[in-house]
């Protein structure tokens, strides 16, 4: 099976490389090169990135000892890594003798696993206005907020004005966003009806242009919304809960964590080793009380007793924050505190409670106007998974042998040399989703819990499934046929629009904006001008309907605490005042973006914690401790989303950026202006025409606004 998959990958590369000699516009040839260190023995190098769904494209050895590959890529920004001698470099910025693995990388981004991906920015090769429009792509044509949104890409700075010419009249378009090499023009029509349309405009040199060039040619919209937006998402406020570390309301189920832990299935030799890259052997699982010290097992096998009844007990607290959507980390039977090593997808984890507890929680959440989504892990399971245990016992005679990728048998559970596992962690055997039986099983799991009462699904590492596009197209078809309002969210860390074209997911976990733009801007590491360009590129790359459905977040169970990332201090310390200001700046921007703002449990209370200290960011909430300033700020943000309808629309338009000050509009009529300043000194911004009120104050301003340092303000238009 593995040889067949590799052969298909190689054939795909041959065709792709053959095309690279003469790339068809808008694709351009891009060459990637790996240069080994002196005396480094290299037997294989492959290119893996967002452009190939992190699949394997073998690179070719050259006479000078380098390895290279030239491919055709559309303009865009692509995270990637070289896969060298069958191993991932942890950090593409430092893994080559302390230096970059690819010196030609443009910059680096968090890979979600404690390292960094390299990023290559691919710019187009064109002249003039170079208009681009594809009505099959929601980035160019979609229905958002019940309106038909039509957009045109042009080369940056080349178009002076653009109009949408239709069989219903001519509509002026506005420049919505501008990035390094492109910009997007937008028109929004209130009627979603069949339409014939084309574009015409004037270039900066005074010449006119039309697209299509043939005056008799038109684009068409049949009047059908092929990718419906979920309005309950765009109007919502989200909160992520890591159940074991939230609140313990039922101490009687605490000992069940030890009875179901993964250690019961592993020989001592293969007991869980310290996370990912070290070989330190650690002790067995144990129960802890809040305030107990963090141990090397804190990430995964130090249990604190949080449970479903604990979430139920805190629903009113969440309602006070304006929360309308709960995202629960895995609640199914598993062998760890995090739950991503599933033992039984159809059983609630005993350490968290019973199925009746879960039903009561969902009913109580619904009564408060909250919807709940669950975490789904189709890529891998735990070694206690019933089918894997059958393989352990019966080997090739097991009917589930082909549910996994077994390399040798007999074997001891936990041995990563015996079978394919997630990131070579033997406690996480990889599922063979190419097997129709496995796929069918997983589809039914998803539907079962939606029928039970969940409102949507967050999918773990979807890019790592072997047949990801086909698998998720089928999953979407089945889910939407029965639950058209179910929210399907993919854990994708980079800006990868291919996942949200209407055939796979509704939304991404928007780390690309949260940690790729907002966090470095709030830290002061990214200037306002760069943040403007990056936000623009995001707006232009995905459909406006998707922008309104994305899960916008900065911190999660997979990252350090936001307050720590902002310089607030390490676990157990008191947060620095400047970091609190930066957190208020960052969270205001997060809540002001279109889409669902998602807060990781405890961030609203001012919790600190670094990922490097055995995942200290996952330490339980200490409910007798809270920073009132931060908590009050998050309450105000929740009210703001409710009181300002423009903040829950899909519409956003970039305004300006200068000397630390960043500003953008919200709403279909630009009725709200969001302004931020990441500098330690006040900044000034020229305001759009009209009268503007600073929300939360009676102050009305015109012409110019003085923006305090390390702050974000929201202004509402109050006059013409």
The CATH class given to the 652-717 domain equals: mainly beta
- Runs of H (alpha helix) within 170-292: 231-234, 256-260
Residue 25 neighbours by CB distance under 10 Å? 12
CA 386 from centroid of its chain's CA atoms: 31
Q: Do the two domains 380-432 and 652-717 of this chain adopt the same fold?
A: no
Confidence of residue 272 (pLDDT cuts 50, 70, 90): low
* Cβ atoms of 118 and 108 closer than 8 Å: yes
pTM above 0.85, yes or no: yes
Residue 287 has pLDDT above 80, yes or no: yes
Q: What is the pLDDT of residues 37-90, one digit of tens each?
A: 999 999 999 999 988 878 789 999 999 999 999 999 888 788 999 999 988 898
Sign of CA dihedral 664, 172, 208, 166: positive
User: What local confidence, expressed as pLDDT, does residue 87 receive?
Assistant: 86
Confidence of residue 633 (pLDDT cuts 50, 70, 90): very high
Looking at CATH, the fold of the domain delimited by 141-224 is given as Immunoglobulin-like (2.60.40)
Sign of CA dihedral 364, 330, 569, 510: negative
CATH architecture of 380-432: Alpha-Beta Complex (3.90)
How does DSSP classify residue 42? -
Whether the bond into 26 is cis, omega within 30 of 0: yes
* Cβ atoms of 263 and 327 closer than 8 Å: no
Residue 354 neighbours by CB distance under 10 Å? 17
For residue 628, give Cα distances in angstroms to 324, 587, 631.
22, 16, 5
User: What local confidence, expressed as pLDDT, does residue 88 receive?
Assistant: 87
**Mean pLDDT, the chain, integer:** 92
Looking at CATH, the fold of the domain delimited by 2-122 is given as Immunoglobulin-like (2.60.40)
Q: What are phi and psi of 45, to 5 degrees?
A: -140, 135
Known catalytic residue at 464: no
Q: How far apart are CA 425 and CA 292, in angstroms?
A: 28
Q: How far apart are CA 714 and CA 720, in angstroms?
A: 18
Confidence of residue 281 (pLDDT cuts 50, 70, 90): low
> From the candidates 341, 491, 544, 716, which is the catalytic residue?
491
Q: What is the pLDDT of residues 314-337, one digit of tens each?
A: 999 999 999 999 999 999 999 999
User: What local confidence, expressed as pLDDT, does residue 269 receive?
Assistant: 64
Residue 297 tokens, joined: 């097992």
Residue 16 has pLDDT above 70, yes or no: no
Distance between first and last Cα of the chain: 67
Q: How far apart are CA 331 and CA 299, in angstroms?
A: 16
User: What local confidence, expressed as pLDDT, does residue 19 receive?
Assistant: 41
* DSSP β-ladder status, 325-328 and 371-376: parallel
* Cβ atoms of 285 and 268 closer than 8 Å: no
Measure the CA dihedral 481/484/490/494, to 10°.
Answer: 120
> From the candidates 244, 375, 460, 716, which is the catalytic residue?
460
Residue 8 has pLDDT above 60, yes or no: no
Q: How far apart are CA 110 and CA 115, in angstroms?
A: 6
Q: What is the pLDDT of residues 102-124, one digit of tens each?
A: 999 998 888 877 789 999 988 87
Known catalytic residue at 603: no
Domain boundaries, given as residue ranges, for the chain:
2-122, 141-224, 380-432, 652-717
What's the length of the chain? Answer: 720
Q: How far apart are CA 118 and CA 341, in angstroms?
A: 29
- Neighbouring residues of 458: CB distance < 8 A, sequence distance ≥ 6: 327, 373, 374, 375, 376, 489, 491, 509, 551
Residue 13 has pLDDT above 70, yes or no: no
Average pLDDT of the segment spanning 268-291: 67
Residue 18 tokens, joined: 């053959």
The per-residue b/e assignment along 3-16, b for 16 or more CB within 10 angstroms, e otherwise, is: eeeeeebeeebeeb
* Least confident segment among 48-57, 89-98, 542-551, 618-627: 48-57
Q: Which residues are paired to 182 by β-bridges?
A: 155
Q: What is the pLDDT of residues 201-247, one digit of tens each?
A: 999 999 999 999 999 999 999 999 999 999 999 999 999 999 999 99
% of the chain at pLDDT higher than 70: 94
Q: How far apart are CA 358 and CA 372, in angstroms?
A: 11
């Amino acid at each position: 099976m593995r040889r067949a998959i590799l052969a298909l990958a190689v054939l795909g590369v041959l065709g792709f490389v053959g095309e690279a000699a003469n790339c068809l516009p808008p694709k351009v040839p891009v060459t990637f090169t790996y240069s080994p260190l002196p005396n480094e023995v290299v037997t294989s190098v492959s290119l893996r990135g967002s452009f190939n769904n992190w699949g394997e494209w073998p690179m070719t050895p050259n006479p000078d000892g380098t390895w290279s590959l030239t491919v055709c890529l559309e303009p865009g920004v692509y995270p990637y890594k070289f896969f060298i001698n069958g191993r991932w470099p942890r950090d593409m910025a430092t893994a080559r003798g302390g230096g970059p693995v690819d010196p030609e990388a443009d910059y680096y981004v968090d890979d979600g696993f404690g390292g960094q991906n390299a990023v290559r920015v691919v710019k187009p090769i064109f002249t003039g206005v170079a208009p681009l429009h594809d009505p099959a792509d929601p980035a160019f044509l979609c229905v958002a907020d019940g309106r038909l949104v039509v957009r045109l890409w042009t080369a940056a700075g080349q178009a002076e004005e653009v109009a949408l010419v239709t069989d219903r009249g001519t509509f002026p378009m506005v420049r919505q966003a501008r990035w390094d090499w492109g910009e997007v023009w937008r028109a929004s029509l209130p009627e979603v009806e069949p339409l014939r349309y084309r574009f015409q405009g004037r270039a900066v040199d005074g010449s006119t242009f039309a697209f299509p060039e043939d005056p008799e040619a038109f684009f068409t919209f049949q009047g059908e919304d092929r990718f419906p937006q979920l309005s309950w998402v765009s109007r919502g406020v989200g909160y992520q809960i890591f159940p074991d570390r939230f609140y313990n309301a039922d101490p009687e189920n605490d000992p069940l964590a030890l009875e179901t832990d993964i250690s019961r299935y592993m020989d001592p030799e293969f007991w869980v080793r310290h996370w990912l890259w070290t070989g330190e052997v650690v002790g067995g699982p144990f129960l802890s009380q809040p305030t107990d010290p963090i141990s090397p097992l804190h990430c995964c096998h130090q249990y604190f007793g949080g449970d479903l009844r604990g979430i139920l007990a805190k629903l009113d607290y969440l309602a006070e924050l304006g929360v309308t959507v709960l995202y629960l980390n895995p609640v199914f039977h598993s062998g760890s505190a995090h739950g991503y090593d599933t033992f039984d997808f159809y059983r609630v984890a005993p350490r968290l409670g019973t199925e009746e507890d879960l039903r009561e929680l969902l009913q109580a959440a619904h009564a408060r106007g909250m919807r709940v989504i669950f975490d789904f892990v189709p890529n891998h399971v735990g070694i206690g998974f019933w089918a894997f245990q059958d393989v352990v016992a019966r080997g090739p005679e097991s009917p589930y042998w082909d549910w996994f990728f077994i390399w040798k048998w007999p074997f001891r559970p936990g041995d990563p040399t015996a079978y394919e596992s997630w990131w070579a962690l033997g406690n996480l055997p990889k599922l063979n989703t190419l097997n129709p039986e496995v796929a069918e099983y997983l589809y039914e799991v998803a539907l079962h819990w939606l029928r039970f009462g969940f409102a949507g699904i967050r999918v773990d590492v979807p890019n790592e499934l072997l047949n990801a596009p086909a698998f998720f197209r089928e999953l979407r078809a089945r889910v939407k046929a029965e639950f058209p309002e179910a929210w399907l969210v993919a854990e994708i860390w980079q800006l990868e629009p291919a996942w949200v074209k209407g055939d796979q997911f509704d939304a991404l976990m928007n780390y690309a904006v949260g940690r790729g733009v907002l966090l470095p801007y709030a830290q002061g590491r990214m200037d306002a001008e760069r943040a403007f360009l990056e936000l623009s590129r995001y707006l232009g790359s995905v459909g406006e309907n998707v922008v309104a459905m994305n899960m916008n977040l900065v911190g999660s169970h997979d990252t350090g605490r936001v307050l720590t990332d902002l310089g607030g201090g390490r676990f157990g310390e008191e947060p620095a005042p400047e970091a609190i200001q930066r957190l208020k700046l960052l969270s205001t921007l997060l809540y002001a973006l279109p889409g669902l703002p998602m807060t990781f449990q405890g961030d609203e209370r001012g919790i600190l914690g670094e990922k490097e200290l055995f995942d200290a960011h996952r330490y339980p909430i200490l409910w007798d401790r809270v920073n009132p300033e931060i908590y009050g700020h998050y309450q105000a943000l929740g009210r703001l989303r409710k009181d300002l309808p423009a903040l829950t629309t899909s519409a956003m338009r970039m305004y300006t950026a200068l000397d630390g000050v960043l500003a953008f509009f919200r709403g279909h009529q630009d009725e709200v202006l969001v302004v931020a300043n990441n500098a330690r000194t006040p900044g000034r911004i020229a305001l759009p025409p009209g009268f503007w009120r600073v929300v939360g104050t009676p102050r009305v301003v015109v012409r110019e606004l003085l923006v305090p340092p390390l702050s974000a303000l929201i202004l509402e238009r109050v006059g013409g």
